[in-house]
Amino acid sequence: MTIVQPERVAGTSSSLGLTFKEAVGRRRSIRYYKPWQPVEREKVQKVLEAARLQSCHGNAGQIRKAVVVHRDEADPDVFAGLVDALYNQPQAAQAPVHIYWTIDMDGWEHLRDNLKDLIATGALTSSYGWSEQFIDDIVLKTADFNVMAGELRFAEWLSAIEMGLAIGTALLAAQDEGLGTQLLTGKRQQMADLLGIPDTATVAQIQLLGYAAEGTEAGGQRPRPDFEEIYSDGQWGRPLHRDPAVVAELTDAGMIQQPAPLPYRRREVRALAAMFGLPD
């Protein structure tokens, strides 16, 4: 089977116009950024727009909020505090843009109005039993929907899933725009204090945006568990067959790419370490 090598894409002001499969296949966690090259605001907006449109339980998109920090426009002391909260990881200082994705539990208070909007737009229909009376008498009295009145652990679990959907979309949108991107975690309370995030909201993940200083392949596609190890056919533990023809098709489409490490990766890392004054 021939593995198609992805092209090296330099930082550019235009998007790549990737297919979905290419965006999935090219996505990497980029850990070296060009600190001298800013990210266009329109590209940041496109990443956020993609996340905003992702599926959300009960249409309660208000639980998914974010604070965008542009390094060169932020208060230097605030940005330094954020880098410290991210354990002073070098890429946090290099990346021109940080997105602090947060889960705001107050967003569930809009559930009734959001469901009404879905009825008004025809997404929820009377043929499936939906009406304002059904929302009031059934849905909002069901713990699985009325998460604020129900069990908090369920609310947190569900909210984390909804946040993950948005962040995953944002990662692919950044890739489609020709940006390098990565998720980081850190000291959440310190971030919240610096950014004025209320107690109802919790920082979930921090997404870095910038132009990659390393090759966009970042050493090759990351290892993942075997297909049959994680997917079952009909019953747990019965491996789902992986069709080689589908693998070949996805390889040709750019979703499955050359696995890491690429032959030159060690030399690339040494050059990057020297450029940024980092240990090799």
Q: What are the structural domains, with CATH classification, of the chain? A: 21-213 (3.40.109.10)
What pLDDT does residue 141 have? 81
Q: What is the pLDDT along the chain (280 residues), one digit of tens a residue?
A: 344 444 434 333 445 678 999 999 999 999 999 999 999 999 999 999 999 999 998 888 999 999 999 999 999 999 999 999 999 999 999 999 999 999 999 998 898 999 999 999 999 999 999 999 999 998 888 766 655 544 556 778 888 999 999 999 999 999 999 999 999 999 999 999 999 999 999 999 999 999 999 999 999 999 999 999 999 999 999 999 999 999 999 999 999 999 999 999 999 999 999 999 999 8
Cis ω for the linkage preceding 244 (within 30 of 0): no
Structure tokens at 21: 């499969």
* pLDDT tens profile 116-144: 999 999 999 999 999 999 999 988 887 66
What pLDDT does residue 6 have? 43
Sign, Cα dihedral of 48, 54, 59, 65: negative
Entry pTM: 0.90
